[in-house]
Amino acid sequence: MKLRLGSLLLAFVCLAGWTTLASAQIQFDRPKTEPPLPNPYTINIPRDQILKTVREVLKTCSIPVDEEASKPVESKLVTKYVVFTKGVTARTDLEHLSNLPASEVHNWTQGRYSLEINALPLDEKRSQLQVIVRLQGQVADVVGTKWIDSPSNGTAEDEILRSLASRILGIDLSLNSKNRRRIFNCEF
């Protein structure tokens, strides 16, 4: 009788342990992933105010505006290339934000980006904010180094669009609950 009671108690403890482990592996209340914002994103604010806020954010983040490529009359701001990653993490950072060329194996040493931000007017009170990110990775060859274009997968555009729209509208559109507004390495 004591042997059966001990075995039953051991089985109950093991079952309780496995249940705890199994419930840690299965997540019933998994949060839904939020879809990306539409790009361009419609905002009920005039384009001049949008461009003013975007210029302030770019200045705060020390992202230089390329005045030759920008067309303020057309509400288009283009930035110069800015390095956002170097060294060992360059490949991982580039893979997170872009679709690296799969046919070639490279030793990625740096990653840089350029932003194109458009404020498209709909009427005098509404505009659309559009963000385009151009990513490049630097590779080391026998001859030297060169920059290779890498098409964006949309992650950077969505994060920057959410950050700028949050700043312009004064509400939180970020994916995380910490209300962080970021453009790559710059938090504003």
Q: What separation in angstroms does the CA of 149 have from each of 23, 37, 45, 113, 159?
A: 44, 24, 34, 10, 20
Confidence of residue 104 (pLDDT cuts 50, 70, 90): low
Identify which of 178, 174, 173 has the alpha carbon closest to the alpha carbon of residue 43: 173
Identify which of 46, 58, 6 has the alpha carbon closest to the alpha carbon of residue 163: 58
Q: Model-level pTM?
A: 0.78
User: Whole-angstrom Cα distance, residue 121 to residue 170?
Assistant: 20
Q: Report pLDDT for 107.
A: 84
> How do residues 108-127 score in pLDDT, each as one tens digit?
899 999 999 999 999 989 99
On the question of pLDDT at 177 being above 60, the answer is: no
Question: Are residue 45 and residue 25 in the same domain, yes or no?
Answer: no
Confidence of residue 181 (pLDDT cuts 50, 70, 90): confident
Question: Are residue 8 and residue 58 in the same domain, yes or no?
Answer: no
CA atoms within 13 A on the CB side of 43: 30
User: Whole-angstrom Cα distance, residue 79 to residue 133?
Assistant: 10
List the CATH number of the domain containing 125.
Answer: 3.30.310
For the chain, the average pLDDT equals: 85
Residue 36, in any domain of the structure: no
| Residue 9 lies in domain | 1-30
> How do residues 124-138 score in pLDDT, each as one tens digit?
899 999 999 999 999
How many residues appear in the chain? Answer: 188
Question: Are residue 18 and residue 101 in the same domain, yes or no?
Answer: no
Question: Are residue 137 and residue 181 in the same domain, yes or no?
Answer: yes
Q: Report pLDDT for 178.
A: 62
- What region, left, alpha or beta, does residue 139 occupy, with left being phi > 0 and alpha being psi -120 to 50 degrees? beta
Question: Are residue 102 and residue 168 in the same domain, yes or no?
Answer: yes
Confidence of residue 31 (pLDDT cuts 50, 70, 90): low
Residue 35, in any domain of the structure: no
> How do residues 59-83 score in pLDDT, each as one tens digit?
999 999 999 999 988 899 999 999 9
What is the number of structural domains in the chain?
A: 2
Residue 155, in any domain of the structure: yes
User: Whole-angstrom Cα distance, residue 125 to residue 82?
Assistant: 33
